[in-house]
Amino acid sequence: MIIVAVVVVAAGVIVGIKLCGSKTPEVTTPPTETPKGVDTTNVANPQPIDTPEVEKKEPVKVDPPKPITGRGTVDLGYGIYTGELKNGVPHGHGVIKYTQKHKIVSSKDFVANPGDEFEADFRDGRVSGNIGYWSHDGNKTAIKP
């Protein structure tokens, strides 16, 4: 009888724990809602969002500067020319101040050094047939091309 009493008491304790026991509440998450107007039928391959096309602009055309005609200064690479110009090249009376060693007249052996000057008449970027004057080392030499 003691065994039956122990079993009844044990069963009562178990039933009591089940009825009053510390049952942990189930936590449920609410389902996520899809915003209205959103198509979820093709989630694996979403379609790109329509964006307005960007207007393509034509490049701005800029005319190159017109060559100087009249009086001006031009860098010749071997010296700076100041004087009369036609279409951006020496044409008329002017002076070249040399910035590097250079032959004054290609057919002669006159070589100007940096700082030397040559004053002459020019036609189409070249020394004309008239006499020119080369200033060098404090001297002035007349040169006929």
Between CA 19 and CA 13 the distance in angstroms is 10
What average pLDDT does range 69-86 have in this prediction? 93
Residue 4, classified by CB atoms within 10 Å of its CB into exposed (0-12), middle (13-18) or buried (19+), is: exposed
Whether residue 86 is predicted with pLDDT greater than 90 in this model: the reply is yes
Quote the distance between the C-alpha of residue 25 and its chain's center.
Answer: 64
What average pLDDT does range 13-42 have in this prediction? 59
For 45-77, write each residue's pLDDT tens digit: 666 666 667 777 788 888 777 777 899 999 999
Lowest mean pLDDT among 59-63, 130-134, 135-139: 59-63
Encode the chain in three state secondary structure: CHHHHHHHHHHHHHHHHHHHCCCCCCCCCCCCCCCCCCCCCCCCCCCCCCCCCCCCCCCCCCCCCCCCCEEEEEECCCEEEEEEEECCEEEEEEEEEECCCEECCCCCCCEECCCCEEEEEEECCEECCCCEEEEECCEEEEECC
Kindly report whether the global pTM for this prediction surpasses the value 0.75. no
Between CA 128 and CA 139 the distance in angstroms is 22
